[in-house]
Homo-oligomer: A and B are copies of this chain.
Amino acid sequence: MKRFTKALSANEILAVTGGTWQNAMPASFDNVCEAGEADSASIVFCEQERLVESVSKSPAGLIITNAQFAANFGERPLLITDKPYISFMRLVAWWLAMDQAHLPWGIHPSAVVDPSVRFDGEVAIAAACVIGPNVTLGKGVIIAEGCSIAANCTIGAGTRLYPNVSIYEDCELGKKCVIHSGVVIGADGFGFILMDGIQQKIPQVGNVVIHDEVEIGANSTIDRATLGSTIIGKGTKIDNLVQIGHNCVIGQHSILCAQVGLAGSTIVGDYVYLAGQVGAAGHITIGSKAMVGAQKRYCGQHS
C-alpha cells in the first residue's frame, strides 16, 4: 500500500482522471493499493474479470472501473472512465509527483563539486557525491548520494540520478532522464588486440550520448565508444543489469528488458522490444519495431 502524505478529495481526483461518479461521493482518500490490502481510504481499480472478486470483497473506499464492470459493485462509490487502468495510473503518477519527498535544492556540504561546474538553475546534490571539472548541470537536476560525475559531462534539465551512479568523463545525458542506482555510464568499451602474446588495450576515447526521457535500470552498464559515441535514443527504456557495448546506437522509444546484452556496434531501431536476457552479436542491425523473445541470440541482418 502506498499511503500519501496529502489526502485527496473526490473532486481533486475527478480533476485528474476525468470520468463520472456513480453512487455516493465519498470524503477523502490517502492511498492506492491492491484490493487485498485495501482499507476505507484506499483507491483501487477494476478492468479485468479476474479482479472482480477481490475488489468486491475489499473495503476499498473508491473503485475506478468502467460501465461494463460497474454492475459488479452495487451501491459502492465508483469512478467510471473508459480506460480505468490508465485513469488509475495517471492519478497515481500525479499524486506521487506532488507528494514525493525529494532532496532539498542545494549542495550537501560533504559533496565535492569542482569550482568549474556550471548550473543552469537550481539543482540538488546529496552527500558524498563528486562532480568533476567542467560538468554542466541543467535546471532541476537531482543527484542522490554517492554519485560520481567525471569531467566534462553534461546532464540535462530535470534528470534524476539515484544513489551510487557512476558516470565517466565526457558523457552527455539529456533532459528528464531517470538513472537508477548502480548504473555505470561511460566505462571503457571492451576492446583488445592480441599482439606479442598480450591483450593490448584499444584506447576508448569516444563517449556516451543519452537523449531525453531515457530511463536506465539499476546496475546496468553503458560503455563509451572507441571513437564517436554510444547513443541511446529519446524515450528508450532500459531495465536492470543490461549491458550496452561500445558504439551501439539505439533508437527512440525502444524497450530493453533485464539482462539484455548488446555487443559492440549493435544497431537497434525505434520501438524495438528486446525481452529478458536477449543477446545480440556485434555489428548487426535490429530493425525498428522488431520484437525479440526471451534469451534469443540475435545474429540477424549484418549492417
**Contacts A279-B295, A295-B295 given: A241-B221 contact, CB under 8 Å?**
yes
Q: Is A112 an interface residue (CB 8 A)?
A: yes
Docked-complex contact B219 and A184, CB < 8 angstroms: yes
CB-CB nearest in chain B for A166: B181
Docked-complex contact A190 and B239, CB < 8 angstroms: yes
A227 contacts which chain B residues (CB < 8 A)? 2, 32-34
Q: Which residue from B89, B96, B184, B195 sits with its C-beta under 8 Å from A180? A: B184
**Contacts A188-B180, A190-B240, A221-B240 given: A146-B144 contact, CB under 8 Å?**
no
Q: Is A198 an interface residue (CB 8 A)?
A: yes
**Contacts A92-B203, A219-B221, A261-B259 given: A130-B163 contact, CB under 8 Å?**
yes
The stretch from A7-15, A17-25, A69-77, A250-258 touching chain B is A250-258
Q: Is A281 an interface residue (CB 8 A)?
A: yes
Docked-complex contact A92 and B184, CB < 8 angstroms: no
Docked-complex contact B258 and A277, CB < 8 angstroms: no
A297 contacts which chain B residues (CB < 8 A)? 294-295
Determine chain A's interface SS by DSSP, over half rule. Answer: loop
A264 CB to nearest B CB, Å: 10
Q: Is A235 an interface residue (CB 8 A)?
A: yes
A42 CB to nearest B CB, Å: 10
Query: In chain A between 16 and 46, which residues have their CB closer than 8 angstroms to a CB of chain B?
Result: 32-34, 36-37
Docked-complex contact B192 and A255, CB < 8 angstroms: yes
A 121-135 to B, binary, CB cutoff 8 A, 1 in contact else 0: 000001110100100
A127 CB to nearest B CB, Å: 5
**Contacts A2-B227, A187-B180, A258-B263 given: A86-B130 contact, CB under 8 Å?**
no
A228 contacts which chain B residues (CB < 8 A)? 1, 33-34, 36-37
Known: A34-B227, A128-B146, A184-B219. 4 other contacts (CB 8 A): A168-B181, A190-B239, A194-B253, A245-B258
